[in-house]
Structure 1
Amino acid sequence: MSLTKKIDFALILKVTNANPNGDPLNGNRPRADFQGFGEMTDVCLKRKIRDRLQDGFQLLDESGKAHGEIIKENIFVQSDEKKTDGMTSLANRAKDKEVGLGADAFNVKKANKDETAKKACEKWLDVRSFGQVFAFGKSDEGAGVSIAVRGPVTIQSAFSVEPVNITSTQITKSVSGKGDGSKRGSDTMGMKHRVDNGIYVAFGAMSPQLAERTGFSDTDADKIKAVLTKLFEGDASSARPEGSMQVLKLIWWEHNCKAGQYSSAKVHGSLKVNADGSYELNNLDGLVPTEIDGF
């Protein structure tokens, strides 16, 4: 059974001396808008959700505590360092008979688009959650078809509550392969950037109408809910040291029907987050959210 009720959610995130989402077109500086408000893109957040689903997690009980067995999900869009099937591209993963759907599923003469989309949604949780476009040119083997899956789970970019202060530090890198080691070449010098402190807020929603098309269920929603509370576990790096990124709170609104009692804009607008991470909720009549602490 697909999702039985509309869901809205909000994430309150804390950044301390870390680069939450570097911009490769700007020297990997933390993303920020022209007014200085920090940003973590929706693509960045979905990448972390996919990784946590793939790594393994436990569902949450009514009090927000993890319980039960460890669950690991099949993910279509895998990051390079977390590949579990040896596939070198999304096309290979989709068309492989063992880990994917087989080449015939994407052959213009043999494929049934609706059937292929249904099988892809059944196989990969991220496809039935966020959607996916399977587009292969006619020059590819067994291709010649484009299939678009529209997912029911949408996430906005996270923005900081106040403008962030970005600190840049010059560093030396152990990457140089030139010279005799007596002089530092230009390729050994680099820059490292960080956000000193920041509180970020991201909003999202789950649509029952779109869930009917992909088979996204209440159980799938619970899985997304579980990994949102531990978004940064297993995500540490030089740019994001362990403990520098934290989920402070997950606010979870479950409506009492598929259409929703209120618009997502009104629900999201009922939350006001302060610069210290505290927040105020203007509870809407008949819609009381669940407030869950981060992992």
Structure 2
Amino acid sequence: MVPINNKVDFAVIFTVDKANPNGDPLNGNRPRQDYEGYGEVSDVAIKRKLRNRLQDEGEAILVQSDENRIDGYRSIADRVFGNEAIAPYFDKKNKEPNKEELVGISASKAWYDVRAFGQVFAFKGEDVSVGVRGPVSIHAATSVDPVDITSMQITKSVNSTTNTKDPSKKTSDTMGMKHRVDFGVYVFCGSINPQLAEKTGFSKEDAKKLKQALITLFANDSSSARPDGSMEVNKVFWWEHNSKLGQYSSAKVHRSVKIELNNENKLPNSLDDYTITIENLEGLSVKEYDGL
């Protein structure tokens, strides 16, 4: 594994077309919005999709979703205690003086998402508590413009359960609501920190896999709320600095991505309604990739 010696920044532009990119459970599962009406997708949701994509490509993942679980473990704790290299450190009889550090090292070797995003290992009844800081940081995605949300009432064609009062009538659970973003262009950014990568063992090969996962972010991610083709990665921008510290701050690099509406009097319905430019940063080149 070749270590990362250069700071990396990246930005991803994607479009949402009649889909719910990330429902808010505290707001009836409506697509997330801030108080000004801009659409949002949480960083947690983005990392979930990245984990799924990496798992599709054969990477070992600690935080597996139930529908993508490929082993017999029902929880993170079960998966950790089932790992022969890590479980002994949680034995109360183990008096290893630096066992917390060894848990972090072993977990980073075992699972891609631990060495990328980090993880807290703190389980009820255990005296070992470990926090691993990952080198890959990802922001929440935000839409370029405020988004319009359409809500529609839906009905099921059959009862989930029989109406005990009158079997011939439908029950209340046949009624529901479905919400979608009509159209929106979203952007999220992230970085890879070489100093933290050294600690977790996140390598250049891992970075390449992350980049490919970003390019193919929505592959195998379709659902009733997000039909195939309704969410599309359009562009991935990738900056590799010439040092561990970086030639520019991540904030300045991320701000170099400019997305402007061509006609403010026309309601946008495709990425063609926008112009994307990258501000030149002297000495720092950017690589541009089309999404899948």
Instruction: Give TM-score, length-normalised by structure 1.
Output: 0.90
Deviation per CA, 1:87-115, whole angstroms, max 9, x where unpaired? 01100000014xx6453222344251111
The separation in 2 between residues aligned to 1:94 and 1:147, in whole angstroms, is: 12
The separation in 1 between residues aligned to 2:70 and 2:31, in whole angstroms, is: 30
Query: Percent sequence identity over matched residues?
Result: 55
Deviation per CA, 1:155-199, whole angstroms, max 9, x where unpaired? 000000000000000001345202255322211100000000000
Q: Does 1:280 align with 2:277?
A: yes
Q: Where does the alignment leave 5 or more consecutive residues of structure 2 unmatched?
A: 262-272
Aligned equivalent of 1:194, options 162, 169, 180: 180
Aligned twin of 2:162: 178
Aligned equivalent of 1:246, options 214, 232, 238: 232
Structure 1 residue 247, shift from structure 2 partner = 0.2
Q: How does 1:252-263 map to 2 (within 5 A)?
A: 252-263=238-249
Aligned twin of 2:91: 107
SS of residue matched to 2:208: helix
**Relative to structure 1, is the Cα distance of residues 284 and 79 closer, same or farther in structure 2, using a 3 angstrom cutoff?**
same
SS of residue matched to 2:242: coil
Aligned equivalent of 2:82, options 63, 84, 96: 96
SS of residue matched to 1:274: strand
Aligned twin of 2:48: 47
**Contact 1:94 1:102 (C-alpha < 8 Å) held by counterparts:** yes
The separation in 2 between residues aligned to 1:95 and 1:121, in whole angstroms, is: 15
Instruction: Give TM-score, length-normalised by structure 2.
Output: 0.91
Aligned equivalent of 2:132, options 135, 149, 155: 149
The aligned length equals 274
Q: Does 1:223 align with 2:206?
A: no
Corresponding letter in the other structure for 2:181: V
Corresponding letter in the other structure for 1:201: V
Corresponding letter in the other structure for 1:120: A
Structure 1 residue 2, shift from structure 2 partner = 2.5
**Contact 2:86 2:103 (C-alpha < 8 Å) held by counterparts:** no
**Relative to structure 1, is the Cα distance of residues 226 and 185 closer, same or farther in structure 2, using a 3 angstrom cutoff?**
same
Corresponding letter in the other structure for 1:75: I
Deviation per CA, 1:4-33, whole angstroms, max 9, x where unpaired? 100000000100000000011111000000
**Relative to structure 1, is the Cα distance of residues 144 and 248 closer, same or farther in structure 2, using a 3 angstrom cutoff?**
same
